[in-house]
């Protein structure tokens, strides 16, 4: 695999999700001898990085190490983009647990495709784009419900971008419901007092007391 | 400007309601009133029982003071709502409804006093709920036919548009990015000469967060970076 850097645009630089996504590590093999950086492999034994050592490096570091002039590291495809995973995505995209594979799956995939500069097979990119679309239907369906992150299996399988979409959809629906109930303008007993208040939809609390 | 996430790509429902208050509605004044000279325009004079067209906000203010009767719009009766619900359930497309039907209906039903101008307020309430549910389930099915650059849906109302905007803009944005990344592997993809996709990566264009005034929503992949 040959990787070269792509120019950072201003928008991407400050994107928090992008920063977190680029924190993903890939196994990298150094092509040159680098003195004094031996501590990168986590142990105290070597003072320098010898040619051919394999160290897991974050994507942003690989990006900057491989400029147009020279390639300092060679990397392999991460586990998340192997043919096995792609086949699984092609078969049933919504059943794949992307959170376990890589929490920022789509952003990392996008970044790696840019870094690879067209050397990846066409099917990789297409499969991932199609998988996003297929999973999107399930995500948008669930925006009408109120799924909790820790309890729902469905949400646990989503990657961070999909969770963001889900949350925004849920918030928007909730806002409309609250507006329909005129909840902001109604005077209710504060939930901290008493046996529990009517919830935001105006349903009475258990125990029968109306807010 | 640092807006909270909910306000970044859509109006709040209260803002949508405010915009809807400008819709014109017929009222029947109960009391003689002189011309009301306001900043932009004037209204009046109000001579009972001649009915006159005023903005909804004015109608509600007068109604609350007992100075007028509001004539509900033609679609806000039990029979027409019944027909609309029927049509909504049988057709695949969305039925054409006034753009602000949800807000207008809500404000009129709230300003309504028993035995007054709106004959069957209770039934109207439930029928409106049914109508909303039918349209919402249709919007969900529409996601199936989404392709990567746009989706065309006619006759969506203001509140429904607002509700769909945040998740849809983000989804489209991401879809565009992934498709652009996939196109890099195609011949001509590196130089950006492919026909598909209009930019590389996440472009920083803020597609307008303001609502269009027509009922037709064409969700472009506006590249709204989240």
pLDDT per position as a tens digit, A70-125: 777 777 778 888 888 888 888 888 888 888 888 888 988 888 888 877 777 888 88
**Same domain membership, residue A170 and residue A87:** yes
Of B67, B59, B135, give the one whose Cα is nearest residue B96. B135
Q: How close A42 gets to chain B, by Cα (Å)? A: 33
Residue B130 at interface with chain A, using a CB cutoff of 8 Å: no
State the Cα–Cα distance between residues A75 and A29, nearest whole angstrom: 6
Cβ A49 vs Cβ A83: under 8 Å: no
Residues 6+ apart with CB under 8 A from A208: none
- Inspect the interface and report whether the beta carbons of B184 and A113 lie closer than 8 Å: yes
- Higher pLDDT: A1 or A144? It is A144
Q: Which of B68, B51, B50 is nearest to B59 (CA)?
A: B68
- pLDDT for res A4: 39
Q: Which residue has the higher pLDDT, A97 or A189?
A: A97
Q: Are residues A130 and A141 in the same domain?
A: yes
Question: Which chain B residues are Cβ-neighbours of A138 within 8 angstroms?
Answer: none
Residue with tokens 């001509």: B188
In a domain, A142, yes or no: yes
Question: Which pair of tokens denotes residue A61?
Answer: 């570091």
Both A67 and A84 in one domain: the answer is no
Task: Check if A118 contacts B (Cβ < 8 Å).
Answer: yes
Helices (H), A26-79: 59-65
Q: How many domains does chain A have?
A: 2
Question: How is chain B split into domains, by residue range?
Answer: 5-142, 147-225
State whether residue B217 is helix, strand or coil. strand
The rounded distance, in Å, linking the Cα atoms of A170 and A146 is: 7
Contacts of A176 in chain B (CB under 8 A): 13, 159, 162-163
Residues of B within 8 A of A169 (CB-CB) are 166-167
Residue A132 to residue B183, Cβ atoms within 8 A? no
Is residue A147 domain-shared with residue A176, that is, in the same domain? yes
Domain membership flag for residue A193: no
Whichever domain contains A12, its CATH number is 1.20.58.2050
CA distance to partner chain A, nearest, from residue B41 (Å): 30
Q: How far is CA B146 from the centre of its chain?
A: 21
Q: Does A200 touch chain B (CB under 8 A)?
A: no
Sign of torsion over alpha carbons B224, A152, B137, B107: negative
Structural domain contains residue A94: yes
Q: Is residue B196 within 8 angstroms of chain A, CB to CB?
A: no
Planar angle of CA A67, A54, A114, nearest 5 degrees? 35
User: Which residues share a beta bridge with A34?
Assistant: A49
- How far does B151 lie from chain A, in Å, by closest CA? 13
> Which residue's entry shows tokens 């400050």?
A14
Domain finish residue from A51, A76, A101: A76
Domain identity same for A14 and A66: yes
Same domain, A140 and A98: yes
**Contact (CB<8Å) B181/A114:** yes
Cross-sheet strand order for the sheet of A25-30: A54-58, A25-30, A73-75
Handedness of CA B146, B150, B154, B159 (dihedral sign): positive
Quote the pLDDT of residue B197. 37
Residue B48 Cα, gap to closest chain A Cα (Å): 33
- With respect to residue A87, please indicate whether it lies within any of the assigned structural domains: yes
State residue A184's pLDDT score: 54
Residues A158 and A98 in one domain: yes
> In terms of domains, do A176 and A97 share one?
yes
Residue B22 confidence (pLDDT)? 92
Domain with A102 in it: 79-182
| φ, ψ at A177 (rounded to 5°) | -60, -45
CB B204 within 8 A of CB B191: no
Whether residue A8 lies within 8 A of chain B, CB to CB, comes out as: no
Q: Does B199 touch chain A (CB under 8 A)?
A: no
The 10 Å CB-count burial string (b at 16+, else e) for B129-153 is ebbbebbeebbeebbeebebeebeb
Return residues 27-86 of B near A (CB < 8 Å): none
Query: Above pLDDT 70, what percent of chain A?
Result: 76
* B170 with A168: Cβ contact below 8 A: yes
- Does the model's ipTM exceed the 0.85 cut? no
Contacts of B165 in chain A (CB under 8 A): 172
Of A34, A56, A76, the residue that ends a domain is A76
- The answer to whether residue A156 sits within a structural domain is yes
> Quick one: which of B80, B52, B87 has its CA closest to B67?
B52
Residues A94 and A165 grouped into a single domain? yes
> Which site among A63, A98, A168 would you substitute to test the B interface, given the most B Cβ atoms closer than 10 Å to its Cβ?
A168
Backbone dihedral region for residue B63 (phi beyond 0: left; psi -120 to 50: alpha; all else: beta): alpha
High-pLDDT (> 90) share of chain A, %: 0
Lowest-confidence region among A138-147, A158-167, B25-34: A138-147
CB-based contact (8 Å) between B167 and chain A?
yes
Residue-wise pLDDT for A48-81, tens only, equals 777 888 888 888 888 888 766 677 777 777 888 8
pTM: 0.76
Query: What is the CATH code for B5-142?
Result: 3.40.5.50
Q: Which chain A residues are Cβ-neighbours of B199 within 8 angstroms? A: none
Domain-located, residue A111: yes
Chain A, window 80-109: residues with a beta carbon less than 8 angstroms from a chain B beta carbon: 106, 109
A50 and A71 in a single domain? The answer is yes
The Cα–Cα gap between B179 and A132 comes to 10
Residues A153 and A70 in one domain: no
User: Residue A96 falls within a domain, yes or no?
Assistant: yes
Last residue of a domain, one of A76, A97, A114: A76
Q: Do A128 and B226 touch (CB under 8 A)?
A: no
pLDDT in tens, chain B (226 residues): 677 877 878 888 999 999 999 999 999 999 998 998 889 888 878 998 889 999 999 999 998 888 888 888 889 888 899 999 999 988 888 888 899 999 999 888 888 765 566 777 888 888 988 898 888 888 777 766 666 666 777 888 899 888 888 888 888 888 888 888 888 888 776 655 444 433 333 333 333 333 333 344 444 333 333 3
Pair (A133, A59) in one structural domain: no
Residue pointed to by tokens 């109930």: A181
Can you tell me the mean pLDDT for A28-49?
78
């Amino acid at each position: 695999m040959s990787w070269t850097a792509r120019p950072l645009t201003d928008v991407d630089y400050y994107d928090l999700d992008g920063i977190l996504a680029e924190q993903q590590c890939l196994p990298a093999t150094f092509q040159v001898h680098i003195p004094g950086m031996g501590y990168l492999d986590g142990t105290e034994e070597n003072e320098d990085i010898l040619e051919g050592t394999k160290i897991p490096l974050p994507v942003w570091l690989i990006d900057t190490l491989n400029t147009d002039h020279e390639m300092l590291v060679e990397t392999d495809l991460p586990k998340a983009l192997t043919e096995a995973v792609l086949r699984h995505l092609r078969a049933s995209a919504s059943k794949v647990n992307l959170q376990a594979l890589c929490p920022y799956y789509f952003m990392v995939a996008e970044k790696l495709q840019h870094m690879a500069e067209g050397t990846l097979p066409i099917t990789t990119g297409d499969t991932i784009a199609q998988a996003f679309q297929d999973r999107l239907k399930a995500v948008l369906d669930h925006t009408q419900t109120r799924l909790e992150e820790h309890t729902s299996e469905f949400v646990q399988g989503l990657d961070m971008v999909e969770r963001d979409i889900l949350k925004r959809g849920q918030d928007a629906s909730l806002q409309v419901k609250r507006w329909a109930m005129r909840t902001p303008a109604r005077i209710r007993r504060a939930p901290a007092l008493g046996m529990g208040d009517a919830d935001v939809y105006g349903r009475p609390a258990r125990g029968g007391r109306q807010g | 400007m640092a807006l909270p996430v909910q306000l970044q790509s859509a109006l709040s429902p209260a803002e949508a309601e405010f915009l809807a208050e400008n819709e014109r509605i017929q009222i029947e004044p109960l009391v003689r009133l002189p011309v009301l000279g306001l900043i932009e325009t004037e209204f009046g004079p109000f001579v009972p029982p001649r009915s006159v067209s005023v903005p909804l906000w004015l109608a509600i203010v007068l109604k609350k003071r007992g100075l007028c009767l509001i004539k509900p719009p033609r679609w806000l009766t039990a029979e027409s709502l019944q027909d609309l619900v029927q049509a909504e359930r049988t057709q695949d497309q969305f039925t054409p409804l006034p753009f602000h039907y949800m807000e207008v209906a809500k404000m009129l039903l709230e300003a309504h006093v028993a035995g007054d101008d709106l004959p069957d307020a209770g039934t109207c309430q439930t029928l409106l709920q049914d109508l909303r549910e039918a349209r919402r389930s249709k919007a969900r099915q529409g996601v199936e036919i989404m392709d990567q650059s746009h989706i065309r849906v006619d006759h969506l109302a203001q509140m429904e548009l607002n509700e769909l905007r945040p998740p849809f803009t983000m989804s489209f944005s991401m879809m565009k990015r992934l498709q652009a990344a996939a196109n890099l592997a195609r011949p001509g993809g590196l130089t950006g000469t492919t026909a598909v996709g209009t930019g590389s990566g996440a472009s920083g264009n803020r597609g307008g967060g303001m609502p269009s005034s027509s009922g037709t929503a064409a969700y472009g992949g506006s590249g709204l970076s989240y």
